[in-house]
Amino acid sequence: MQLLILRHGEAEPMVVADDSRQLTERGRAQVSRICELRAEELEQVRAIWASPFVRTQQTAEIVAESLGLPVITEPLLIGGTPPQRVIDALGQAKSFPLLLVSHQPLVGRLVNGLCGSDDAHFLDTASLACLQSEVWATGCAELEWLQHPE
């Protein structure tokens, strides 16, 4: 099974509340660029889960628009969620390849935890990781690739 993990694009500085921060124009361009760079791989995605925060919803919508898929809001995907809760939810998921759109520190903890790679892989804004595994459990996945926006 294949899992893609995308960190949201660059967001505006925190003014009022973290959950309402929007993507900047640069952030939108970063996400669009990742979609161009990895179009072939993204075309295989069958479901998109995104954090309820505005910037992740906007990021997911950019991807969803090009794929013709709905965005499923998944409250587990906020940045501070323990990774094991997300891993448990992955075990129940039916549609793969699955794209998760979320925040740091969760995206980094998921990639590194699933791959058993400590903190070897960092996801910057709009970075996209592709993992492969037969089961979703700590240390059981292989990182196929990690794409940063150019």
| Residue range 112-140: mean pLDDT, rounded | 95
The total number of structural domains that make up the chain: 1
> Interior CA angle at 124 toward 122 and 125, to 5°?
155
Q: How confident is the model at residue 150 (pLDDT cuts 50, 70, 90)?
A: confident
CB 68 within 8 Å of CB 116: no
142 Cβ contact partners less than 8 Å away, ≥ 6 residues apart? 115, 131, 132, 133
Domain with residue 78: its CATH number is 3.40.50.1240
117 Cβ contact partners less than 8 Å away, ≥ 6 residues apart? 111, 143
- 70-111 pLDDT, tens digit per residue, is 999 999 999 889 999 999 999 999 999 999 999 999 999 999
Exposed, middle or buried: residue 78 (CB in 10 Å: 0-12, 13-18, 19+)? middle
Please tell me whether residue 96 adopts helix, strand or coil conformation. coil
Residue 16 has pLDDT above 80, yes or no: no
In the chain, what are the helix, strand and coil shares in percent, each to the nearest 5?
40, 20, 40
| Residue-number span of the structural domain to which 66 is assigned | 2-11+20-147
Q: What is the pTM of this model?
A: 0.96
